Structure 1
Amino acid sequence: MPLSGVTVVSLAINLPGPLAVARLVSLGAAVTTVEPLAGDPLRAAAPDWYDELHRDVAVVTLDLKVASDRARFEELVSRADVLLTAMRPAAAARLGLPSLAERHRLAFVEIVGHDDDRPGHDLTFQAEAGLLTSGSPPLVPVADLLGAERAVTAVFAALRLRDAGLPSHQRVVLAEAAHDAAAAVRHGLTGPGMPLGGGLDEYGIYATVDGHVAVAAIEPHFADRLASLVGGTRDELTARLARDTTAAWERFGREHDLPIVAVCSVSDLTEHEHQLKGEQG
């Protein structure tokens, strides 16, 4: 495993931190997460997901403002290679984390909302980036997910820099991750009427007898095959796809090597996961 032998101490709670930690564990790292006395809010909000992300993570509860707990934390850090945090820069400074990381020659990776101390979470980062298109909250926490992946990359970069004897402090800014995600909209790729936002007949959502399918025949060879077998215009596709069931069109896609899949709801996926767990249990 690429991170076999690497020890990580994480203070990163909520969502980006646990997501990053789970990925680091999957790559071979040994991770201890230090949670405050109140615990990680993710556990209360999504207990199943919390358990999934912490499956192979050692979790300890410490109050870093209490001398004995602080000593325990510094003992953990003294044996670590990486320190991962997810708090505002001023809070990390008050806890002396930058100097602690430097003293122990740690690869230090911070997940922050902004480079300054402005407060924020995924919802505000997406709002600032122009990713919210209605009055409803987003279905996917894009900034948190991208931030977690960037944090994993930052860990690799920090370890390389540390091994080279160079300053290894890395900072992942969630607001920047949301801004980068919005590039698809800014550059006219997605959004209403854009190529991947309904502007291409061969790339869209179509109704079937009992639901909807997503058709993504964007490459020329897919588009040509779709046109010859089903239809090449939106009107043709709409009329033809509406004649059969979603399952039938998924089978058709597999048989003819076309990207046609059912549009699933979150409740459908959750029910499927529960069925799989029941069968495994």
Structure 2
Amino acid sequence: MTTTARPRSAALRPLRGVRVLSLALNLPGPAALMRLRAMGATCLKVEPPPPRGAAAGTPGDPMGHYNATAYGTLHENIKVVSWDLKAERGQAALHKALARTDVLLTSFRPSALAKLGLGWKVLRARHPALSVVAIVGAPGERAEEPGHDLTYLAEAGLVTGLELPATLFADMGGALMASEAVLASALNLKATGKGSFQEVALSQAASWLALPRTWGLTQPQGAVGGAHAGYRIYACRDGRVAVAALEPHFATALCQVAGWPVKGPTTLLQPETRSALAAFFQERTCAQLNRLAREHDIPLHTLAAPRQR
């Protein structure tokens, strides 16, 4: 019997030769820069000077203080310099670099950029081929409003209880949108020879991620919100199991293993089916469920029991 090797994904580098300079701090900007570096861009990060009295080499980005591991990962293979943009020397260094930069990535409020002489109109006049991707909290006139990932998720309806979200969805979604905007800027520059301005709002990233919930898909009555018995999290004897048997053949296999008859397409939407599967999982260990999943081709993932607070 011969087998055909699966092709390996090629490491595409569509931004090879594109030069990106970032002034963006904290998470969304650096996360975008990490993605851009992976796509082949030449990346330079400009940070403000570290706080007075800080040890030599201390990052000027707050991320470097509250999570050194994250900071190190985000800035791997990226050149980082420390320039005081409020000083003449720092401004001179910045504009010298911008003269050979294709895309400037920022995350300051518009008023802060204006104070530094880095508003779009000023930059366009001084560097006609430069594109700007501006990461802001909210779009348009709301760009001056204070906010963070949690407030944007709350506004989008993604905070449903007292628990904090499992990750920083708006920040990371915004980072992806920002890297997408840089790609668009590079394509536009190649086509027109002119720079462009694009605004990426974290609140809009949160709204984009919230669309499945807005459509009702992840609401409690939605198929992937808990109504479908094959797409839920159940307790098992020594932990939990995340089941994703959504397609009919997976759902049928799950019910057959559990000894529950499938009488039609609505079987998996019935409360009694959820109850039957809950009882089935409750009696089995994670190891037993993992074995059943392998033997019957059922998509599930076992988890430890949640830690008590």
Picking from 97, 116, 126, the partner of 1:76 is: 97
Picking from 11, 19, 23, the partner of 2:35 is: 23
Count of residue correspondences: 267
Matched, 1:50 2:71: yes
CA deviations on 1:126-164 (whole Å, 9 max, x unpaired) are 121221112333222111111000001100111111222
- Provide the rounded CA distance (Å) in 1 between the counterparts of 2:161 and 2:289: 31
Matches within 5 A, 1:108-187: 108-114=132-138, 115-116=140-141, 117-165=144-192, 166-187=194-215
Matches within 5 A, 1:176-215: 176-215=204-243
**Which amino acid in structure 2 is aligned with residue 198 of structure 1?**
G
CA offset at residue 172 of structure 1?
A: 0.5
**Which amino acid in structure 2 is aligned with residue 50 of structure 1?**
Y
- Provide the rounded CA distance (Å) in 2 between the counterparts of 1:3 and 1:161: 13
Matched, 1:41 2:81: no
CA deviations on 1:47-102 (whole Å, 9 max, x unpaired) are 11111111111111111011111111112222211110111122222222222255
- Provide the rounded CA distance (Å) in 1 between the counterparts of 2:125 and 2:175: 23
Q: Is 2:238–2:304's contact at 8 Å kept on the other side of the alignment?
A: no
**Distance 1:103-1:254 versus aligned 2 partners, 3 A rule:** farther
**Distance 1:61-1:251 versus aligned 2 partners, 3 A rule:** farther
Match of 1:107 in 2: 131
Match of 1:262 in 2: 302
CA offset at residue 238 of structure 1?
A: 1.6
- Provide the rounded CA distance (Å) in 2 between the counterparts of 1:177 and 1:264: 31
**Distance 1:163-1:226 versus aligned 2 partners, 3 A rule:** same
For 1:164, what is the secondary structure of its paired residue? helix
Q: Which consecutive residues of structure 1, in runs of 5 or more, have no partner in the other structure?
A: 268-281
- Provide the rounded CA distance (Å) in 2 between the counterparts of 1:82 and 1:155: 7
Moved more, 93-102 or 140-149: 93-102
For 2:301, what is the secondary structure of its paired residue? strand
Match of 1:276 in 2: none
CA offset at residue 236 of structure 1?
A: 2.4
**Which amino acid in structure 1 is aligned with residue 88 of structure 2?**
A
**Which amino acid in structure 2 is aligned with residue 25 of structure 1?**
R
Match of 2:275 in 1: 235
Q: Is 1:101–1:108's contact at 8 Å kept on the other side of the alignment?
A: no
Tell me the TM-score normalised to structure 2 length: 0.81
Q: Is 1:8–1:84's contact at 8 Å kept on the other side of the alignment?
A: yes
For 2:105, what is the secondary structure of its paired residue? strand
Moved more, 95-104 or 202-211: 95-104
**Which amino acid in structure 2 is aligned with residue 175 of structure 1?**
S
- Provide the rounded CA distance (Å) in 2 between the counterparts of 1:179 and 1:94: 30
- Percent identical among aligned pairs is 45
Tell me the TM-score normalised to structure 1 length: 0.88
- Provide the rounded CA distance (Å) in 2 between the counterparts of 1:110 and 1:265: 42
CA offset at residue 18 of structure 1?
A: 0.9
Matched, 1:14 2:26: yes
Matched, 1:62 2:83: yes
**Distance 1:65-1:266 versus aligned 2 partners, 3 A rule:** farther
**Which amino acid in structure 1 is aligned with residue 123 of structure 2?**
L
Give the 4+ runs in structure 1 shifted more than 6 A. none
Match of 1:249 in 2: 289
CA offset at residue 256 of structure 1?
A: 2.4
